């Protein structure tokens, strides 16, 4: 049996050991989380104590020279493996950790249950320069909408321009603290491609700097945006990238422009056929294409599952500038219903026989959105209201960060895009196709002037 004095000592020892364990665990966590901030001072101190200050100065100078050389020779790798790591540690240590507790309390994101406080847990922080991605484990029974509502306050509290909330998995959200917009400047069109890949047609750049690609083969594309949002630039970027195949007759463009040629009239030379209204001519053209789709589908049945270049038949892209004018606002009921039937046929059956529809829409009303499911790739340029985002991109996509209603008027061509089967929506900007570019395009696709352009495309990759 222990005497009371000994028991006291033992309890004190256990308590001390417990403190030491906690201290060690915390130290390991700090070293793991801030390796640079811990190791640089430790190594500096050790170096100056062991070898003297002059050796330390020499080491520091050599290190700086090595970093400058790294930056000069491999700027991308330097940025990724050095600069962004330092920035991540810096932002975590100076912005998120010190302010987290008070901001959570003041934003009423922490909860009290009696004496216990439930506080959202700050998880992984990743800085990409223009944005910080901050993972958060929400408190039990909290919904992402609560965070959505606090976005502006959080952005101000952590010194960012804006904040986006994305649901990662149950109980975990990721906050994007945006410091600058990498898509603020227009992106010029590149040179005509040598090879056109219909599965990956590049129409711009994403905010992470990668090419923004749209799939045409086996896909239908819906582009929605208020007037002036830049639908034209998505359309012309697509035509620009298809131009070598259009010129060689491997891709055929057919257009319907119910606004009398305001859009497609800028470069009709790229199109095999164009109708400039939303009346009988346009509907007749749609029905003609629908009949072609059915014919080709019948011929392909049992022979092939998907159009390929080897069929010798052109891949057809039907561009409709204001889809709603045909299928929703056409006052003649008969024409409207015929147009709806034809569009339904082309979009639902055109995949295998090599027909793609690119539909542009200004106003995502119910009548148009009922056709949304026929389009497997959807692009939301600037929209008027938050509710429209899910109407265009699909249910729950706004919750994953696609804030198309927040795209500024000063950045036309910026869009949120989502492809069926792709989990995360992407933010991107279409190439800016200027009037001069359209002139170049016109001369490029017009057969009489083909010889003026030396590039000889190898063809279409299917
Ligand atoms: N990607 C872009 N980069 C820079 N500027 C752009 C881009 N796209 C469009 N713009 C500019 O924005 C303006 C409107 O663009 P655009 O005509 O394409 O809009 P829209 O959505 O087609 O409008 P509408 O519905 O009226 O046809 C144009 O003056 C154009 O120069
Ligand atoms: Mg337009």
H/E stretch holding 426 reads strand 426-432
Whole-model pTM? Answer: 0.81
pLDDT in tens, 295-346: 988 888 777 777 877 778 899 999 999 888 888 888 888 998 999 999 999 9
Per-residue pLDDT at 458: 43
Q: Kindly tell me if the per-residue pLDDT of 3 is higher than 70.
A: no
Domain with CATH 3.30.980 in the chain: 74-178
- Grouping H, G, I as helix, E, B as strand and the rest as coil, residue 326 is helix
Number of the ligand closest to the Cα of 413? 1
Can you point out the beta strands (E) in 170-298? 172-178, 187-188, 195-197, 201-206, 211-214, 221-224, 251-256, 273-275
Q: What is the DSSP string of 93-125?
A: IIIIHHHHHHHHHHTT-SEEETTEEE-PEEEEE
Per-residue pLDDT at 447: 60
Ligand 2: centre distance to CA 349 (Å): 27
187-461 topology per CATH: Rossmann fold (3.40.50)
**Closest residue by CA, ligand 1 atom 9:** 230
Residue 127, sorted as left (phi over 0), alpha (psi -120 to 50) or beta, turns out to be beta
Ligand 1: centre distance to CA 407 (Å): 13
**Closest residue by CA, ligand 1 atom 1:** 413
Q: Which of 228, 256, 258, 392 to mutate to test the pocket of ligand 1 (most atoms within 8 A of CB)?
A: 228
**Closest residue by CA, ligand 1 atom 15:** 230
Q: Kindly tell me if the per-residue pLDDT of 262 is higher than 60.
A: yes
For the chain, the 3-state helix, strand and coil shares in percent, each to the nearest 5, are 45, 20, 30
Q: Which of 212, 230, 381 to mutate to test the pocket of ligand 1 (most atoms within 8 A of CB)?
A: 230
Per-residue pLDDT at 369: 65
Per-residue pLDDT at 1: 57
Nearest atom (ligand 1) to Cα of 187: 3
Q: Kindly tell me if the per-residue pLDDT of 452 is higher than 60.
A: no
Q: Please tell us whether the domain made up of 74-178 is placed in CATH 3.30.980.
A: yes
Per-residue pLDDT at 448: 56
Q: Which of 199, 198, 221, 168 is nearest to 423 (CA)?
A: 168
Q: Kindly tell me if the per-residue pLDDT of 37 is higher than 90.
A: no
Domain with CATH 3.40.50.300 in the chain: 187-461
Ligand 1: centre distance to CA 457 (Å): 29
pLDDT in tens, 99-126: 999 999 999 999 988 888 999 999 999 9
Ligand 1: centre distance to CA 430 (Å): 10
Per-residue pLDDT at 459: 43
Separation between Cα atoms, residue 345 and residue 298, nearest integer Å = 13
pLDDT in tens, 124-164: 999 999 999 999 999 999 999 899 889 889 999 999 998 98
Number of the ligand closest to the Cα of 184? 1
Ligand 2: centre distance to CA 211 (Å): 23
Across 82-106, average pLDDT:
93
225 near 414, Cβ under 8 Å? no
Helices 35-51, 53-73: inter-axial angle, 10-degree rounding: 140
Which residues share a beta bridge with 315?
251
pLDDT in tens, 291-305: 999 998 888 877 777
- Ligand 1: which residues within 6 Å by Cβ? 186, 225, 227-233, 263, 362, 412-413, 429-430, 432
Handedness of CA 143, 149, 151, 157 (dihedral sign): negative
Nearest atom (ligand 1) to Cα of 430: 1
Per-residue pLDDT at 312: 81
Per-residue pLDDT at 451: 40
Separation between Cα atoms, residue 402 and residue 116, nearest integer Å = 35
């Amino acid at each position: 049996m222990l005497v009371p004095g000994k028991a006291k000592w033992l309890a004190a020892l256990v308590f001390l050991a417990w403190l030491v364990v906690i201290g060690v665990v915390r130290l390991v966590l700090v070293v793991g989380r801030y390796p640079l901030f811990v190791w640089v001072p430790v190594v500096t101190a050790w170096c100056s104590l062991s070898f003297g200050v002059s050796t330390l100065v020499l080491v520091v100078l050599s290190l700086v020279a090595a970093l400058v050389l790294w930056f000069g020779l491999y700027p991308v790798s330097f940025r990724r493996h050095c600069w962004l790591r330092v920035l991540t540690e810096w932002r975590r240590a100076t912005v998120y950790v010190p302010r987290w507790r008070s901001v959570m309390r003041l934003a009423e994101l922490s909860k009290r249950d009696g004496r216990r406080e439930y506080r959202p847990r700050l998880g992984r922080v990743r800085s990409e320069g223009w944005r910080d991605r901050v993972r958060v484990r929400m408190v039990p029974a909290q919904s992402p909408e609560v965070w959505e509502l606090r976005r502006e306050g959080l952005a101000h509290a952590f010194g960012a321009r804006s904040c986006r909330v994305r649901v990662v998995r149950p109980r975990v959200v990721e906050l994007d603290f945006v410091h600058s917009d990498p898509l603020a400047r227009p992106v010029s069109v590149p040179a005509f491609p040598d090879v056109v890949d219909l599965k990956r047609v590049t129409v711009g750049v994403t905010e992470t700097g990668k090419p923004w690609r749209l799939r045409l083969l086996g896909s239908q594309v819906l582009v929605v945006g208020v007037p002036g949002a830049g639908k034209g630039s998505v359309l012309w970027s697509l035509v620009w990238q298809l131009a070598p195949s259009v010129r060689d007759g491997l891709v055929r463009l057919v257009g319907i422009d119910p606004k009398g040629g305001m859009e497609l009239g800028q470069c009709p030379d790229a199109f095999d056929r164009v109708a400039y209204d939303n009346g009988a001519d346009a509907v007749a053209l749609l029905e003609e294409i629908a009949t072609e789709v059915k014919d080709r589908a019948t011929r392909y049945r049992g022979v092939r599952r998907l159009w390929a270049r080897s069929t010798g038949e052109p891949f057809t892209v039907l561009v409709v500038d204001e889809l709603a004018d045909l299928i929703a606002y056409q006052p003649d009921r008969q024409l409207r219903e015929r147009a709806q039937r034809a569009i339904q046929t082309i979009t639902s059956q055109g995949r295998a026989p090599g027909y793609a529809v690119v539909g542009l829409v200004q106003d995502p009303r119910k009548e148009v959105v009922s056709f949304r499911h026929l389009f497997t790739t959807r692009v939301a340029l600037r929209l008027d209201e938050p509710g429209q985002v899910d109407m265009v991109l699909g249910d729950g996509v706004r919750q994953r960060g696609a804030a198309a209603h927040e795209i500024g008027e000063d950045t036309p061509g910026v869009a949120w895009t989502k492809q069926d089967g792709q989990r995360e929506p992407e933010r991107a900007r279409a190439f800016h196709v200027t009037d001069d570019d359209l002139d170049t395009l016109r001369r490029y696709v017009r057969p009489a002037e083909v010889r003026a352009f030396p590039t000889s495309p190898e063809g279409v990759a299917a």
